[in-house]
Amino acid sequence: MTAINSNKKTMILVTGACGQIGTELVKALREKHGRDKVVATDRHFASDSLQETGPYFKLDVLDKYELENLVCSLGITQIYHLAAVLSASGENNPLATWNLNMESLLNVLEIARQEKLDKVFWPSSIAVFGPSSPRINCPQHTVTEPTTVYGISKNAGEHWCMYYFEKFGLDVRSLRYPGLISYSAKAGGGTTDYAVDIFHQAVAQGEYVCFLREDTLLPMLYMPDAIRATLELMDAPAEQITVRTSYNLAGLSFTPAELAKAIQTELPGFKISYQPDFRQTIADSWPGSINDSEARNHWNWEPAYNLNAMTADMLKHIGPNTS
Ligand code: NAD
Ligand code: AKB
């Protein structure tokens, strides 16, 4: 393979690029850095939109040799490592989830250290918190005793990121994303997925059976805010990034009943019913709201979307009149 970047200009590799975040993040990174500067990868072949808008490679991130080969041959300077199994799917196969989430992170950190990459981004999650964490306005520094294998892997991963920063000076940055809501790609096996599925069902069927109780308060963030937060974190001067585990990040908090009411203001006939399943226990172990004052103070984070603005925008994009 020929090197397409030999002068150490920014060259980005994204893992897990076909997922809910990757499809939007790759687009934003290509708009910012140029289409040829952002290499999208995933373990399977991509949708047309990812392959047609820039370089794409099939890559299983557990294959360290292949990852290293791509990093070296393409002159990669930054990795955004998104590939993971999420909270609900993770409980179906805990050991495989641990293996993917941890081994892939260690592969990325080790290659970034060896090849002296400029920066790494790795997402953590509100899943690092557990029943012993404060439920409301959960602070940056508090008890983290997660109950899911996904949360355990994110908790351990945060400490590995800090270890690589402190021991080796690797500039690895991270956000504890809350549940992300978007219209472009399906949500991938999480506990907060109801808040994505509900919009598609509301438009397609006019009704939705929710797998969480109506009063389950959870922290969420609209995807445009999440993408902007990611780019802003990665652009901030290194000395401003003093949380080297992962930053708390908040947008909005709502219950399924509150989201349904917001949808009903746009689609008055919409009906919701509730059949909680195993994901209720996971949701009940997470905080209902997050204190993100460190992110606000250190690199000026501020979300833009509230519940009504997000709901209107989601329905505008997936509504029956969308062309
Ligand atoms: P997703 O499930 O939608 O996408 C994950 C992608 O990883 C998929 O395209 C999958 O094919 C790929 N993948 C799985 N195994 C792989 C492997 N071995 N090699 C290469 N690719 C592989 O997930 P997402 O919602 O886009 O999440 C991305 C990251 O953000 C994850 O680390 C997740 O934990 C984190 N996160 C997501 C949310 C959210 O609400 N979406 C919230 C908090 C944190
Ligand atoms: C999930 O529900 O697993 C994700 C997350 C909050 O990490 N959306």
226-235 pLDDT, tens per residue?
A: 999 999 999 9
Overall residue count recorded for the chain in this entry: 323
**Cα 267 to ligand 1 centre (Å):** 31
Atom of ligand 2 nearest to the CA of 154: 7
> What is the predicted ipTM?
0.99
Q: Nearest residue CA, atom 4 of ligand 2?
A: 190
Task: Decide if 206 contacts 270 (C-beta within 8 A).
Answer: yes
> Is 263 exposed, middle or buried (CB count within 10 Å of its CB: 0-12, 13-18, 19+)?
buried
Q: How far apart are CA 45 and CA 58, in angstroms?
A: 6
12-178+223-248: CATH number = 3.40.50.720
SS3 annotation, 216-264: CCEEEEEHHHHHHHHHHHHHCCHHHCCCCCCEECCCEEECHHHHHHHHH
Q: How far apart are CA 88 and CA 91, in angstroms?
A: 6
Domain 181-219+251-318: CATH class, spelled out: alpha beta
Q: pLDDT per residue over 234-245, tens digit each?
A: 999 999 999 999
**CB of 251 closer than 6 angstroms to any ligand 2 atom:** no
pTM above 0.90, yes or no: yes
Q: How far apart are CA 204 and CA 196, in angstroms?
A: 13
Tokens encoding 283:
């949701």
Q: What is the DSSP letter of 51?
A: H
Q: Who contacts 193 (Cβ-Cβ below 8 Å, separation ≥6)?
A: 88, 179, 187
How do beta strands 38-42 and 56-58 pair?
parallel
Where are the domains positioned within the chain?
12-178+223-248, 181-219+251-318
Q: Which of 27, 42, 59 for mutating ligand 1's site (highest number of atoms within 8 Å of CB)?
A: 42
pLDDT at 320: 66
Q: Is 150 a catalytic residue?
A: yes
Q: Which of 158, 191, 281 for mutating ligand 2's site (highest number of atoms within 8 Å of CB)?
A: 191
**Cα 175 to ligand 1 centre (Å):** 14
- What rounded mean pLDDT belongs to the chain? 95
**Cα 188 to ligand 1 centre (Å):** 7
**Cα 44 to ligand 1 centre (Å):** 13
Q: How far apart are CA 264 and CA 267, in angstroms?
A: 5
Residue type, 278: F
**Cα 323 to ligand 2 centre (Å):** 30
> Which among 80, 150, 183, 305 is annotated as catalytic?
150
Q: pLDDT per residue over 174-216, tens digit each?
A: 999 999 999 998 888 999 999 999 999 999 999 999 999 999 9
pLDDT at 6: 43
**CB of 230 closer than 6 angstroms to any ligand 2 atom:** no
pLDDT at 257 over 90: yes
Tokens encoding 35:
């289409």
SS3 annotation, 252-321: EEECHHHHHHHHHHHCCCCEEEECCCCHHHHHHHCCCCECCHHHHHHHCCCCCCCHHHHHHHHHHHHCCC
pLDDT at 8: 64
Number of Cα atoms under 13 Å in the Cβ half of residue 176: 35
As a whole number of Å, the end-to-end CA separation of the chain is 40
Atom of ligand 1 nearest to the CA of 189: 2
pLDDT at 167 over 80: yes
Q: How far apart are CA 39 and CA 51, in angstroms?
A: 10
Ligand 1 pocket, Cβ-based, cut-off 6 angstroms: 15-16, 18-22, 42-43, 59-62, 82-84, 86, 100, 123, 125, 177, 179-180, 188-190, 192
Closest to 309 measured CA to CA, from 217, 223, 188: 223
Q: Nearest residue CA, atom 8 of ligand 2?
A: 179
What's the chain's Rg over C-alpha atoms? 19
**CB of 190 closer than 6 angstroms to any ligand 2 atom:** yes
Task: Decide if 89 contacts 188 (C-beta within 8 A).
Answer: yes
Atom of ligand 1 nearest to the CA of 221: 40
Note the ligand closest to the C-alpha atom of 22. Answer: 1
